Structure 1
């Protein structure tokens, strides 16, 4: 059930404590992919997993603005501070828990959110009346995970699968021509770059022309299957927590 499409009486009749919270970003993804790429892909994976799973799950509205200041040089990018982001996620989940949806899987589509999500999920689980687990879809696609760039083959492929009309096909060659081969500028395992504009001309990392619809279908299958397994594990888990030693 999509929460924003339901009435309060629909929600009152629910007999589940399990929810998913899609979460992305509004940020540049090169000249060929929309600013909402991370939101659209997170929603697509969440919805595909809910179609697979044989239990009732609430799907909360997606959070579209997050930790993305590293893309501030590219017009249209929006961001909030990590503190604001963590507080917003925590309070959003608190409101879900208030209505009994106190087992929440956060479905993330943006790499810049990973650290903050790990921190806030731990805080929620330790201190609040809820259990939260972050899931980042491109970490759950097997051997393809190593190909993740930014506006590169994985995101372009999944966009072509879930919302093909948003990919500017006529700009793909330009996107590839201005792309960086990898994220950051690395020396002795340290990244010297703070912002993406320091190492990529047009915001792209990786070759987006390698991301066809066939790959997108495979990514959606892998990610949604992984999310389905996680949802089942969260639904069955004893979340009471260990006793103090």
Structure 2
């Protein structure tokens, strides 16, 4: 159920159907020379559509948050960077307002790695109010599944480029797709990280991307996300080994 399609009265009437909401979160950021600036918005958007097609009566879909923390790629044209401390505060108040409106559980469906710290900080504050939150970083949490479909992963790499080809292939300029084999040896922060590690605003091998791989990624991961959401709704947060 897309929240923005409902009147205030109808939202209140239908709130009893679901007390869980998804907030899709992305970024406006350079993705190589071949992918659109909205890449990190489009993947969560399509996941939400596919989830809504399957379980629309079980979950609310809140409006997407399009901007994110994109310091590393801010050297490239078109990137919009929101500092972590600012973004975490904004996300917190979005979540708090949803909680005040009767949403008791929240799914942050994240499309951009730079948002991770902000989402963690916001979630820590929201849970202290009594809200339950899960953060889904689709390319990271389901890396094992993705790597059964693609040979590799990366920022604007094979997996992400395939995803956007499936989302809307007219937005992708595959003739400009490149390869960047640089892989960090550690989680290191330094001022010119974006220019050096993400040369040409990408990592991995975008030239291997295909529409078919993107289709498979969305099919497989949508089912995995729905399974996770069902466990979240049911309160199945952990398992216990037999003693």
| TM-score normalised to structure 2 length | 0.87
Q: Among residues 162, 165, 173, which one is paired with 1:160 in the alignment?
A: 165
- State the SS of the aligned residue for 1:224: helix
Equivalent residues in 2 for 1:82-101 (5 A)? 82-101=84-103
How far does residue 117 in structure 1 lie from its aligned partner after superposition? Answer: 1.8
- State the SS of the aligned residue for 1:202: helix
| Partner of residue 32, structure 1 | 34
Distance 1:88 1:21 in 2: 13
Q: Among residues 148, 171, 188, which one is paired with 1:191 in the alignment?
A: 188
How far does residue 202 in structure 1 lie from its aligned partner after superposition? Answer: 1.1
Residue deviations 1:111-150 (CA, integer Å, cap 9, x gap): 112233233223311x124211100111224243583211
How far does residue 190 in structure 1 lie from its aligned partner after superposition? Answer: 5.1
Equivalent residues in 2 for 1:1-245 (5 A)? 1-14=1-14, 15=16, 16-53=18-55, 55-125=57-127, 127-139=128-140, 140-144=142-146, 147-172=152-177, 176=178, 179-184=179-184, 186=185, 189=186, 191=188, 193-194=190-191, 195-237=193-235
* Number of residue pairs matched by the alignment: 230
Q: Which aligned segments of 4 or more residues in structure 1 are displaced greater than 6 angstroms?
A: none
The answer to whether the Cα contact below 8 Å between 2:27 and 2:111 also exists between their aligned partners in 1 is: yes
The answer to whether the Cα contact below 8 Å between 1:147 and 1:153 also exists between their aligned partners in 2 is: yes
- State the SS of the aligned residue for 2:133: strand
How far does residue 164 in structure 1 lie from its aligned partner after superposition? Answer: 1.7
- Unaligned stretches of 5+ residues in structure 1: 240-245
Residue deviations 1:148-173 (CA, integer Å, cap 9, x gap): 2111111110111112221123322x
| Partner of residue 242, structure 1 | none
When the two chains are superposed, the root-mean-square deviation of aligned CA atoms in Å is: 2.0
1:5/1:96 CA distance change after superposition, 3 Å:
same
1:182/1:225 CA distance change after superposition, 3 Å:
farther
1:200/1:190 CA distance change after superposition, 3 Å:
closer
- State the SS of the aligned residue for 2:107: strand
1:57/1:170 CA distance change after superposition, 3 Å:
same
- State the SS of the aligned residue for 2:123: helix
How far does residue 210 in structure 1 lie from its aligned partner after superposition? Answer: 1.1
1:112/1:23 CA distance change after superposition, 3 Å:
same
The answer to whether the Cα contact below 8 Å between 2:84 and 2:117 also exists between their aligned partners in 1 is: no
How far does residue 103 in structure 1 lie from its aligned partner after superposition? Answer: 0.6
The answer to whether the Cα contact below 8 Å between 1:25 and 1:65 also exists between their aligned partners in 2 is: yes
Distance 1:55 1:5 in 2: 14
Q: Which one is further off, 204-213 or 116-125?
A: 116-125
- Unaligned stretches of 5+ residues in structure 2: 238-243
The answer to whether the Cα contact below 8 Å between 2:152 and 2:205 also exists between their aligned partners in 1 is: no
How far does residue 36 in structure 1 lie from its aligned partner after superposition? Answer: 0.8
